[in-house]
Amino acid sequence: MNQTIDPKILERARTWLTGPFDEATKEAVKTMMENNPAELTDSFYRDLEFGTGGLRGIMGAGTNRMNKYTVGMATQGLANYLKKMFPHLNPVKMAISHDSRNNSSYFANIVAEVLSANGFKVFLFDGLRPTPELSFAIRYLGCQSGVMLTASHNPKEYNGYKAYWDDGAQMISPHDFNVIAEVQKITSVEDVLWNGNPANIQLVGSEIDKVYLDRIAALSLSPESIARHHDLKIVYTPLHGCGRKLVPEILQQYGFTNIHVVEEQAVADGNFPTVRSPNPEEHDALNMGIELAEKLNADLVMATDPDADRVGIAIRDPQKQMILLNGNQTAALIVHYMLTRWHELGRLKGNEFIVSTIVTSKILSEIAHSFSVAYFECLTGFKYIADVIRTKEKEMRYIVGGEESYGYLIGDFVRDKDAVSACAMIAEMTAWAADRGLSLFNLLSEVYHRYGFYKEGLISMTKKGKTGADEIQQMMVGYRENPPLTINGSPVLIIRDYQLQEETDLSARAKKAILLPKSNVLQFLLEDGSCISVRPSGTEPKIKFYFSVRNDFPPEASYETTERLLEDKISGIIDSLHLR
């Protein structure tokens, strides 16, 4: 079997047979060497790297897997970098939390042990907590960094490690690359300080919960509407994750009294036994919530992912059927509601702003501009939204931000997407709409009448392992070297290459710079107003194709007919690019 394995990969694997690794790990590596060269290759062909979401991978033995040793080495590298960046602080302070995934608690304790052994003051949550609360705790406790153990919505085989900076945002360049450089200097697990100091670890919990929830409660814009519609029937599912405690609690604190939790999915379980994938973007994940809503005749279903930073919702259409909204639609509703209420309450002073990403619906910019609120666009990933907030907050006031992948941030005391506050605002928005005699579907139709009917689509292709990574790279090379000039019968007018930081206007034969950091993303803007974005995922072995189309939507137009027209246009684009 060994002849089929790259010698360099084999050499890396052999170090795990002779080094100070536990017997179970050595046995797992030996089994791969003897029986599964493909798995061995994928487990050892590279080190896990910080991508758009930090460290993330399949759990198991190997340098490209999430395990005690890769987590410990990453933590030692992080500790070494923090010592360099904060030499005047003794101790450096860290906050650590974890979600419900298998081994998340185990990994969190390893991180705490390594950091405490390095002399850091560690604030370790006493149980699972949402990612946004970890972000909040970093700021509230005056920490220099933080770590959240989670793989977000990935399948159960995955786990991950989100590293945060002192502002509560996930690390961006240069910090993320510098941490990797420090990790790469660690050539042996013997370089890791494994023996923790219990005196340096402080458990935290309910006292942080209270402050965090009180800050979210202060975001409320329509308490009178909630008082009139407090008995709004709300179904909530945490999808076996850590939203179980705080989401129902904040809904109650807002004043809602008719909350129904899907009890089968309220059990914290890293195997996610009732769903194919704990991803609120997928219809299947909300099936049990919708079933309960039908039994109760509920108005709203909300589902959060395992670390409770993203939320998906289902609402009733005019035929009283439950339908799922995509992330762009929910973002449009939240932004429209919040800016409307800020306007009505006299809070808009002319220096406010919202933030979104290059692959999120442009309807958000239309809404912002209609209220004379500044709109900023950034790369995909909430750490870039946080970076815009950090850059602008001294002279401007942030209101809300969001991205198409179901992540939203209301207020600036958290610096990552926050499903806890988003659930509260979505429920409040539903009560406010009811005050006006509208359902959320009616409200969305109003938004489309005013700004145009936007429809988005997404194709995500999974390409696993080293061969998959190579295939994704070749796809991007192909689009760059031979870009399509016509898509679905419409000429390509503009090509944006965020890797080259260059926009090419094909009709004018002109180029201009893109003033954003480099990112491996391509965008094609068509004559008919359509936009196609191509982007390899930074956290998963996937390449993603985003489609955005638009049509005018006058009051007399049919919602169903207009939506079908736009769906046909997206289908035509997919066929034109041979993506089926």
Active-site positions read 152
**Residue 329, both tokens:** 């639609």
Cβ contact 418:309 at 8 Å: yes
* 8 A C-beta contact, residue 361 and residue 331: yes
- Give the H or E element holding residue 212: helix 206-217
What are the backbone dihedrals phi and psi of residue 565, each rounded to the nearest 5 degrees, phi first? Answer: -60, -45
Omega before residue 91 within 30° of 0, cis: yes
Single-letter code of the amino acid located at 492: V
Task: Name the amino acid, one letter, at 249.
Answer: E
Q: Which two tokens stand for residue 167?
A: 């502002």
510, burial (CB in 10 Å: exposed 0-12, middle 13-18, buried 19+): exposed
- The CA distance from 104 to 98, in Å, is 6
Quote the radius of gyration of the chain (alpha carbons, Å).
24
**Count of CB atoms situated within 10 Å of the CB of 65:** 19
| DSSP SS3 for 82 | helix
Q: Which residues contact 213 (CB under 8 A, 6 or more apart)?
A: 246, 249, 250, 253, 420
Cβ atoms of 29 and 17 closer than 8 Å: yes
Helix or strand (DSSP H, E) at 573: helix 559-576
Nearest to 517 by CA among 500, 495, 536: 500
The total number of residues written for the chain in this structure: 580
Write the Ramachandran bin of 80: left for phi over 0, alpha for psi from -120 to 50, otherwise beta.
alpha
User: Comparing C-alpha atoms, which of 207, 48, 192 is closest to residue 115?
Assistant: 192
Structure tokens at 181: 């450089």
Do 295 and 283 meet the contact criterion of CB atoms below 8 Å apart?
no
Cβ atoms within 10 Å of 541's Cβ, excluding its own: 19
Write the single-letter amino acid at 43.
Answer: S
Instruction: Give the tokens for residue 512.
Output: 């201009």
Tokens of 242: 């850590």
If we measure between CA atoms, which residue out of 12, 64, 13 comes closest to residue 465?
64
Nearest to 48 by CA among 212, 171, 160, 215: 160
- The SS3 of residue 534 is strand
